[in-house]
Amino acid sequence: MSVAEADAVRMLPLRAEARRAVSSRLLRSELGMVFRRRRNQAVLAVLAAIPVLIAVAVRLAGDTGNPADGPAFLGSVAGNGVFVSLVALIVVLPLFLPLAVAVVSGDAVAGEASLGTLRYLLTLPVSRTRLLAVKYAAAVAYCLAATLLVAAVGALIGALFFPIGPVTLLSGTQVPLLSGLGRLVLVACYIAAMMAALVAIGLFVSTLTEAPVAAMATTTVLAILSQVLDTVPQLSAIHPWLFSHYWLAFGDLLRDPIALDDILRGLLAAGAYVAVFSVLAWSRFAGKDVSS
């Protein structure tokens, strides 16, 4: 082995360490950019306002409202403030939360491309695969923060406006407040896991265009379309294959004991969508021309 080859071999660990350091900084930078962006903060503010509006509406309505005119948990809100969180999560799940996910994931690559900053990112000693993984991780972190924010604000405003205490589950079993809050965290994490599949879809769409608004709109339309198809009885054969089919399976986390069948199916389905669309996004992004 020549001296030059020996020096190159010795430099390999240093180069790998440098790439890891750059990747770590890149992840922190991406997280900071996602959470500091005014548009994303505005979306979080809107999501946080929803449980507040629900609590205020129920409090002002008092006993005059009809519990059948809303989500299944709405009639329980006045009896236990914890249910404000559950009602809020049900309300944001069909549209508001997918819209928040679409805004972040659709902008991940298309936004950089439209601003002309994508080619500068690729000059860093970080592979396109790792850059794409960082984009995905930051979007999933935002999604998890959004669901936990809705749950936390709902629990806080519920405790402020209504009595709070032991939680009656769907199975009729009453569990202590702390256990009920633990179930609430599990529900929020499950919903975030479901949204992770939509993040992967949005990231793939984001690699197809340099117009972030188009990527956001397409991702939102796909989320709505999946839910519409899931409501058509004649299409029951494809329902289990739709990424939105298991979104409401979190209700099984509120039973005693927890029913895991649909929960596990939902997680497996979300994982399959993440795997497929991550590969599609990678195959598109790996050959993407960003020189212009």
Helices (H), 62-176: 83-92, 96-115, 118-121, 128-161
Q: Domain limits of the chain?
A: 17-286
Confidence of residue 123 (pLDDT cuts 50, 70, 90): low
Confidence of residue 67 (pLDDT cuts 50, 70, 90): very low
From 9-13, 68-72, 182-186, 190-194, the region with the lowest mean pLDDT = 9-13
**pLDDT, tens digit, for every residue of 216-264?**
999 999 999 999 999 999 999 999 999 999 999 999 999 999 999 999 9
Model pLDDT, residue 97: 97
Model pLDDT, residue 89: 96
The answer to whether 110 touches 211, Cβ cutoff 8 Å, is yes
Q: What is the DSSP string of 79-99?
A: T-TTHHHHHHHHHHTTTHHHH
Model pLDDT, residue 6: 42
Tell which wins on pLDDT, 61 or 29.
29
**pLDDT, tens digit, for every residue of 155-200?**
999 999 999 999 988 888 999 999 999 999 999 999 999 999 999 9
Residue 170's contacts (CB-CB under 8 Å, 6 or more residues apart) are: 251, 254, 255
Model pLDDT, residue 234: 95
Model pLDDT, residue 24: 78
From 81-90, 265-274, 280-289, the region with the lowest mean pLDDT = 280-289
What is the Cα–Cα distance from 17 to 248, expressed in whole angstroms? 43
What is the Cα–Cα distance from 197 to 267, expressed in whole angstroms? 10
Mean pLDDT of the chain: 86
What pTM was estimated for this model as a whole? 0.87
